[in-house]
Amino acid sequence: MIVEKPIGIIVDDDFTSGHIPPYPKPSFISFENPLRIKAILNHLERIQIFSHKRIVNVKPKEILEATLELAHSKYHIETIKRISKMGGGLLDDEVFLTEDTFNLAKKAIGGAIEAIEGVIGNKYSQSLALIRPPGHHAIREKASGLCIFNNIANSILYLREKLDFHENIAIIDIDNHFGDGLAQYFYDDPTVLYFSIHEFDFTEGDLGLMNELGIDEGIGKNINFPVPEGITNDDFLYCLELIDPILKKFKPALIIVAAGFDMYYADPIGNCLLTSITYFQFAKKIMRIAENLCEGKIAFILEGGYDIIGLPYCIEAIIKALLNERYDPPEFEDNLSFLNDSKRNELEKIKTILKSLLNPYWGSF
């Protein structure tokens, strides 16, 4: 009989209390707040996820400050530390710091490392890191877009440099926003494939366009699927089909999901129209791919997702898919008027262009 390994859920109470935005009333930065994790944990307790025999609840790995230097400049690390020590402040319109930000952001990296190292080391079959602040916009020298340190990039560089893990890694970024930070870290790296589906401003122009394909040895390994606002469940799953044949050729030893949930229809800073069932279907699909390619090794690392009513259900949907159990969406998601809307015509055009751009690197598919 095969003994199933546990699924690791990595979280810490500090994520439910620290790094509180300075404005209590809705503003962009106010949405990245402790209630996100609090609401998730309340829900997971209510549905008794933590007493499930396959779930283990684990704290982030304790990491040294030097670990941050794998992904960030000393100047950036020192800046975050110094401003936190002074009591916090605003770095720009989209980054706030409080007195505990440095420690919490460091702990978030420890959470991502625990999730990823645990899957690679066969401690967990899959993992889910419920961490904040998010990370996918942060770059080596700078915090950006609510992100302080780049949790996923830091974890990958830790795998590479401290654990001697050099096999291929695929990142699938489903956050509503383009993970410009993550893309930058691995833009010339042939061993890390970055695939992102994100809302894109086709009128004004934006980063995250299709022709950002990577450079040098990494060319063809940065794959952006920009989508117009208002995509719905079927549209999202349609976009995702693109990655399947590419992953088969890339043969990752690990899949990391940059798990943002701000494409959720009620999200205050995303403009797409997904409901929680899509995250269930997404996770099931990625599980099937991972089982075929890399012994099911997937780590989900929380990025955005700011609707505190819907977010807990999206997380439940992911966990139920990992457990291979049924997921029942909440009643408030029934009969939503937009569910049958579709951006399919626009998406077909984008997919055709993207396929032709990728053809030199991946052949026809």
Instruction: Look at residues 236, 186, 230, 191 and name the one whose alpha carbon lies nearest to residue 212.
Output: 186
What is the nearest approach in angstroms of Zn ion to the Cβ of residue 54? 29
What is the nearest approach in angstroms of Zn ion to the Cβ of residue 304? 3
Helix extents (H) in 255-310: 276-294
What is the nearest approach in angstroms of Zn ion to the Cβ of residue 311? 12
Nearer to Zn ion, 260 or 312 (CB): 260
Nearer to Zn ion, 298 or 302 (CB): 302
Give me the residue label for tokens 């751009």: 357
Nearer to Zn ion, 32 or 117 (CB): 32
Contacts to Zn ion by CB under 5 A:
175-177, 260, 262, 304
CA distance 312 to 264: 11
What is the nearest approach in angstroms of Zn ion to the Cβ of residue 297? 25
CA distance 23 to 306: 15
Exposure string over 197-234, b if 16+ CB within 10 A, otherwise e: bbbbeeeeeebbebebbbeeebebbbbbbbbbebbbbb
Q: Please state, as a whole number, how many other Cβ atoms lie within 10 Å of the Cβ of residue 36.
A: 25
What is the nearest approach in angstroms of Zn ion to the Cβ of residue 262? 4
What is the nearest approach in angstroms of Zn ion to the Cβ of residue 260? 5
Peptide bond into 133 cis (omega under 30): yes
Nearer to Zn ion, 32 or 212 (CB): 32
CA distance 76 to 123: 33
* In the complex, residue closest to Zn ion by CB: 304
Nearer to Zn ion, 16 or 176 (CB): 176
Nearer to Zn ion, 102 or 261 (CB): 261
CA distances from 122 to 127, 217, 294 (A): 11, 30, 12
